């Protein structure tokens, strides 16, 4: 029997009616979520409860210590157990707080930790003081949350709906806790896309990792999807999560699903990787969008500087205002060697990692690292308004270090922005979803690897360019008699530092010079002839205020070579597939024939002229020109609006 998870979640969340008045709205979730987990764990353990209690007495009498933990897990048939004879239904009313506290403490350590991260005992104390504890306990005790009534997969959906309600009620960002299930389903399918043959084999073992695990949506969906693809496959999940409540829910969910919850870690993935040196077959992640990493800046920069490519952040660091590319580098560092089977990654990012940062910047260098090592396989542009907390444009990046032969050296772009269905009722900012048929269309486009209206295939080099510095000669005219310029000169703070005598002599010399000089060297000679000898720094001050660009002026030179004019300096991005000189002669010289390329600006990695940069201008490749409406039609609209305005003004006048 398939349940309606939304209705089930609403029924559970209705416990909030009991809490209203005694608790703040932002506190509801911190009571409802752990109680839901507690009841689920209790229902899961119910079939083996009698033998666990019997075994617990036996082991306690034998004083077996830590060894009893493993034996009791074996008796429960799960990775957790509870040695209390009580249940939520038998806690009683008079000493319910003490009994419930003892009941929770009777769980095995891994399960007990879940409730500690909710600070559950503190809320139980508040419920007891408000005379609500018994009522809440009885409400949960009467619900059947057993696996027979609600599957693990359905329970995961209920958890996610409850955490979304919790996030909304506490004004938190729902998207920081979990990813909508439709996006999870699509990303997971893309990550597993080319492993059909392997996953169909008997006894296959695969690992799945999420460094921003949230409530475990990706881990849960990955387990479910692999089970559909190959019931005989074994998938081992790993994750790390920063938010304690989300971590607690994820750990509880994985505990129920018989996963090793020692692989689920609490902490900041970027500053404290708690699964170091481990590599995984599949990695899925939805890192926070546009969140800065200033709090951990020193730790990250130290790793980048001290470990380089031996660490996670060797290719470069993005700007501190957005750490999403750090999560991508973190995942790449955990890819298996292709000789050992390689790895596949699906990560959800906003638009900025596609193009933010020019040639030589941290973002560009990260893109360069991924593309030049042929790790990027595809990018899928998603519709807007898919997430609970934001309506911005988002993209799924698919990476692999075991590309199929036809994909080597290629990157596939899929524009799925038009594939969505409207939701009947918005959930926060989520007004759209991707239905199963649309997911199938996207996955099919990906698998076909053929160009269509929404799919394009590019060479890796198509996204690269060399930024060359284009210089033009400095041509200055000097105006020693211009009163406005001289006023600006004498008002300059640097002028005030000149000796008084030099100031007087210089002004007198300027009075004796011609009104205009079209040669810097001629102006210098005139000053010297007038008895003024200036240092290079002092002459620059005169040049700053008395000189101006003039195309008729003589070219200024330094050591016989034209001096570049900083104000005319420009940059050109030359596609990697083009020769720099050929491009320059075709695109630049016809417009500015006196220009030249600064050959000293070279790439630090290959030593060639021009700084290499990479960007992925996704929208440009799918842009469709829409011609403007005919002028007659626009004029007709303007006439109509003008008439409406005049009619309204006439009514006001009357």
Q: How confident is the model at residue 209 (pLDDT cuts 50, 70, 90)?
A: very high
Residue 599, in any domain of the structure:
no
pTM of this structure: 0.85
What is the reported pLDDT for 622?
Answer: 87
Q: Give tens-digit pLDDT for 336-388.
A: 999 999 999 999 999 999 999 999 999 999 999 999 999 999 999 999 988 87
Residue 362, in any domain of the structure:
no
Which carries the bigger pLDDT value, residue 258 or residue 527?
A: 527
Residue 533, in any domain of the structure:
yes
The gap from C-alpha 237 to its chain's centroid, in whole angstroms, comes to: 21
Residue that terminates a domain, selected from 170, 197, 223? 170
Residue that terminates a domain, selected from 151, 170, 189? 170
| Cα maximum dimension of the chain | 112
Name which of 255-259, 429-433, 453-457, 558-562 the model is least confident about.
255-259
Residue 106, in any domain of the structure:
yes
Query: Residue 89: which domain range?
Result: 1-170
Domain count, the chain: 2
Distance in angstroms (rounded) separating the CA atoms of residues 88 and 41 = 11
Q: How confident is the model at residue 552 (pLDDT cuts 50, 70, 90)?
A: very high
Distance in angstroms (rounded) separating the CA atoms of residues 124 and 156 = 24
Distance in angstroms (rounded) separating the CA atoms of residues 23 and 632 = 64
Residue 530, in any domain of the structure:
yes
Distance in angstroms (rounded) separating the CA atoms of residues 513 and 286 = 70
Q: Give tens-digit pLDDT for 640-654.
A: 999 888 888 877 765
Residue ranges of alpha helices (H) inside 25-95 are: 28-45, 49-61, 67-76
Residue 276, in any domain of the structure:
no
**Residue range 392-420: average pLDDT?**
95
Q: Give tens-digit pLDDT for 431-461.
A: 899 999 999 999 999 999 999 999 999 999 9
Q: Give tens-digit pLDDT for 168-188.
A: 665 444 445 568 889 999 999
Residue 458, in any domain of the structure:
no
**Ramachandran category for residue 409: left, alpha or beta (phi over 0 → left; psi -120 to 50 → alpha):** left
Residue that terminates a domain, selected from 540, 562, 584? 562
Residue 348, in any domain of the structure:
no
Share of the chain above pLDDT 90, in %: 70
């Amino acid at each position: 029997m398939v349940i309606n998870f939304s209705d089930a979640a609403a029924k559970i969340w209705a416990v909030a009616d009991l809490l209203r008045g005694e608790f703040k709205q932002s506190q509801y979730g911190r009571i409802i979520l752990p109680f839901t987990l507690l009841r689920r764990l209790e229902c899961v353990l119910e079939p083996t409860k009698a033998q666990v209690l019997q075994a617990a007495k036996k082991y306690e009498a034998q004083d077996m210590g830590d060894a009893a933990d493993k034996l009791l897990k074996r008796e429960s048939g799960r990775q957790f157990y509870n040695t209390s004879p009580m249940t939520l239904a038998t806690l009683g009313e008079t000493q319910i707080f003490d009994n419930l506290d003892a009941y929770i403490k009777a769980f095995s350590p891994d399960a007990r930790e879940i409730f500690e991260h909710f600070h559950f005992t503190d809320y139980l104390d508040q419920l007891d003081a408000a005379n609500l504890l018994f009522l809440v306990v009885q409400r949960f005790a009467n619900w059947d949350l057993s696996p027979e009534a609600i599957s693990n997969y359905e329970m995961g959906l209920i958890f996610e709906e409850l955490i979304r309600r919790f996030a909304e009620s506490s004004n938190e960002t729902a998207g920081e806790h979990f990813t909508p299930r439709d996006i999870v389903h699509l990303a997971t399918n893309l990550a597993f896309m080319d492993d059909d043959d392997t996953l169909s084999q008997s006894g296959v073992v695969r690992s799945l990792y999420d460094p921003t695990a949230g409530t475990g949506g990706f881990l849960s969906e990955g387990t479910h999807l692999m089970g559909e693809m190959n019931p005989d496959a074994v998938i081992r999940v790993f994750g790390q999560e920063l938010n304690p409540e989300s971590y607690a829910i994820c750990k509880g969910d994985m505990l129920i699903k018989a996963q090793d919850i020692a692989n689920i870690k609490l902490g900041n993935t970027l500053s404290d990787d708690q699964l170091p040196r481990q590599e995984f077959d599949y990695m899925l992640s939805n890192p926070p969008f546009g969140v800065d990493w200033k709090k951990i800046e020193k730790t990250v920069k130290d790793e980048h500087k001290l470990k380089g490519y031996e660490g996670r952040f060797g290719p470069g660091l993005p700007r501190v205002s957005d750490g999403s590319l750090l999560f991508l580098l973190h995942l790449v560092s955990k890819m298996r060697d292709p000789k050992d089977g390689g790895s596949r990654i699906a990560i959800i990012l906003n638009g900025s990692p596609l193009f933010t940062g020019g040639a030589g910047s941290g973002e560009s260098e990260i893109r360069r690292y991924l593309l030049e090592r042929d790790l990027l396989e595809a990018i899928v542009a998603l519709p807007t308004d898919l997430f609970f907390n934001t309506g911005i444009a988002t993209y799924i990046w698919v990476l692999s270090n075991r590309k199929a032969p036809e994909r080597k050296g290629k990157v596939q772009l899929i524009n799925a922005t038009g594939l969505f269905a409207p939701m009947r009722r918005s959930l926060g900012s989520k007004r759209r979803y991707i239905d199963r048929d649309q997911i199938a269309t996207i996955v099919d486009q990906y698998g076909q690897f053929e160009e269509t209206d929404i799919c394009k295939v590019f060479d890796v080099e198509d996204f690269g360019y060399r930024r060359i510095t284009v210089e033009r000669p400095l041509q200055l005219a000097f105006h020693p008699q211009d009163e406005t310029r001289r006023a600006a000169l004498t008002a300059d703070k640097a002028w005030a530092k000149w000796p008084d005598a030099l100031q007087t002599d210089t002004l007198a010399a300027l009075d004796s010079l011609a009104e205009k000089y079209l040669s810097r060297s001629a102006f210098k000679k005139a000053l010297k002839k007038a008895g003024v000898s200036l240092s290079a720094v002092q002459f620059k001050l005169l040049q700053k205020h008395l000189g101006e660009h003039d195309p008729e002026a003589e070219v200024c030179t330094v050591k016989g070579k034209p001096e570049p004019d900083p104000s005319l300096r420009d940059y050109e991005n030359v596609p990697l597939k083009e020769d720099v000189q050929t491009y320059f002669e075709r695109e630049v010289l016809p417009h500015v024939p006196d220009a030249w390329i600064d050959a000293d600006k070279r790439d630090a990695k290959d030593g060639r002229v021009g700084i290499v940069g990479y960007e992925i201008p996704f929208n440009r490749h799918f842009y469709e020109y829409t011609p403007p409406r005919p002028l007659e039609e626009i004029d007709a609209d303007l006439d109509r609006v003008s008439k409406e305005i005049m009619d309204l003004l006439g009514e006001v006048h009357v």
